[in-house]
């Protein structure tokens, strides 16, 4: 069985915090990392994947500092988000200072196990620009990215495939939030590009994202589309994935930070939809 933890949107270095759904505590990142270490041991996880926006703004000194803090007992992998890529030389800085977080020296890579292939594919943010967020919110994959993804899926027909990117495929439904609108809806063009892949490849069963700081789950006949809340926002949640040759399970968990003296995080009750209903927080799906 393959087990990994999925975390996202830590925005390390934010002061003050910008976009957030629940109260955020980036200044407690060191404590949060210690708590994650305990969860790795508790679940016997094989590795951790961060879904993007590890830092709030890309700076060499901040990247080096986070790298020094993230001394974890298992491999740590990063899918670069928009805040990680907010300068033209961002990718160069990440590859220079955190080489162990990217397999093969590339931001687009695969984690291969006996039962599963995890594809880490950071989406771009503007047509014609690769790995640079110039403030536009137009997520897309390049033809090069799509070609590589399809080639690896075709080369591993007997394994389950998981796609990790930063932008969500679906927003939060009105049924989940109780509001009169979809929260953080995804562009139709981006959604279509991913749905085309899951329809074409029956073993591409899970798509993971962050960016919206929301726990959402859309189960279709083809795949499970998941977005995750921010690890630094109350109640400090992460997701556990357990994948075998025949099935995949996702569960959502909160970190235990109760032992921190003087730390009393706030919570906005009328935004409890961020955490999701029971059916938004987990699944068990069989491989076709």
pLDDT score at 16: 87
> How far, in Å, CA of 209 to CA of 246, rounded?
23
pLDDT score at 210: 98
What's the gap between Cα 270 and its chain centre?
Answer: 25
pLDDT tens readout for residues 200-255 = 999 999 999 999 999 999 999 999 999 999 999 999 999 999 999 999 999 999 99
pLDDT score at 218: 97
- 276: closest CA among 251, 255, 242, 240? 251
**What superfamily does domain 2-286 belong to in CATH?**
Metallo-dependent phosphatases (3.60.21.10)
pLDDT score at 288: 73
pLDDT score at 130: 96
H helix runs in 112-187, sequence order = 143-155, 174-177
Across residues 108-129, what is the average pLDDT? 96
Domain boundaries, the chain: 2-286
> How far, in Å, CA of 9 to CA of 231, rounded?
6
pLDDT score at 259: 81
Q: Is pLDDT at 261 greater than 90 in this prediction?
A: no
* Three-state DSSP state, 65: helix
Other CB atoms within 10 Å distance of the CB of residue 53: 26
pLDDT score at 15: 87
Q: Is pLDDT at 173 greater than 80 in this prediction?
A: yes
Across residues 65-75, what is the average pLDDT? 93
Residue 287 pLDDT level (bands cut at 50, 70, 90): confident
> How far, in Å, CA of 286 to CA of 265, rounded?
38
In the structure encoding, which two tokens stand for residue 243, read together?
A: 């994948």
Distances (CA, A) of 110 to 16, 74, 79, 181: 35, 17, 11, 36
As a whole number, the mean pLDDT across the chain is 96
Output the CA torsion sign for 275, 73, 29, 96.
negative
Other CB atoms within 10 Å distance of the CB of residue 279: 11
- Whether 79 contacts 164, CB under 8 Å: yes
pLDDT score at 52: 98
Across residues 263-279, what is the average pLDDT? 95
Across residues 34-41, what is the average pLDDT? 95
pLDDT score at 260: 85
pLDDT score at 262: 83
Residue 6 pLDDT level (bands cut at 50, 70, 90): very high
Percentage of the chain with pLDDT > 70?
100
pLDDT score at 200: 97
- 265: closest CA among 237, 229, 235? 235
In the structure encoding, which two tokens stand for residue 24, read together?
A: 């955020």
pLDDT score at 215: 98
Strands (E), the chain: 2-7, 47-50, 76-78, 109-112, 116-120, 160-164, 204-209, 216-219, 224-227, 237-243, 247-254, 283-286
pLDDT score at 118: 98
Other CB atoms within 10 Å distance of the CB of residue 245: 13
- 232: closest CA among 210, 249, 217? 210
């Amino acid at each position: 069985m393959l087990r990994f933890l999925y975390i996202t949107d830590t925005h390390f270095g934010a002061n003050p915090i910008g976009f957030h759904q629940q109260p955020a505590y980036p200044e407690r990142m060191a404590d949060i990392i210690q708590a994650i270490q305990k969860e790795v041991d508790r679940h016997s996880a094989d590795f951790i994947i961060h879904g993007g926006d590890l830092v709030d703004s890309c700076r060499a000194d901040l990247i080096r500092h986070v790298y020094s803090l993230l001394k974890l007992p298992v491999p740590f992998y990063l899918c670069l988000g928009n805040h990680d890529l907010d300068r033209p030389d961002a990718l160069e800085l990440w590859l220079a200072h955190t080489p162990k977080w990217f397999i093969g020296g590339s931001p687009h890579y695969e984690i291969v196990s006996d039962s599963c292939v995890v594809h880490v594919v950071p989406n771009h943010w503007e047509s014609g620009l690769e790995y640079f967020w110039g403030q536009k919110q137009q997520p897309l994959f390049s033809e090069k990215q799509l070609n590589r993804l399809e080639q690896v899926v075709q080369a591993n027909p007997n394994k389950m495939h998981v796609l990790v990117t930063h932008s969500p495929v679906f927003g939060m439904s009105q049924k989940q939030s109780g509001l009169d609108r979809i929260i953080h809806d995804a562009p139709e063009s981006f959604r279509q590009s991913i749905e085309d892949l899951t329809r074409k490849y029956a073993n591409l069963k899970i798509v993971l994202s962050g960016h919206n700081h929301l726990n959402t789950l859309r189960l279709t006949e083809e795949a499970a589309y998941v977005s995750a809340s921010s690890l630094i926002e109350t109640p400090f949640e992460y997701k556990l994935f357990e994948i075998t040759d025949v099935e995949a399970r996702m569960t959502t968990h909160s970190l235990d930070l109760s032992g921190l003296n003087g730390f009393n995080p706030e919570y906005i009750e009328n935004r409890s939809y961020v955490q999701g209903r029971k059916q938004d927080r987990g699944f068990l799906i069989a491989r076709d």
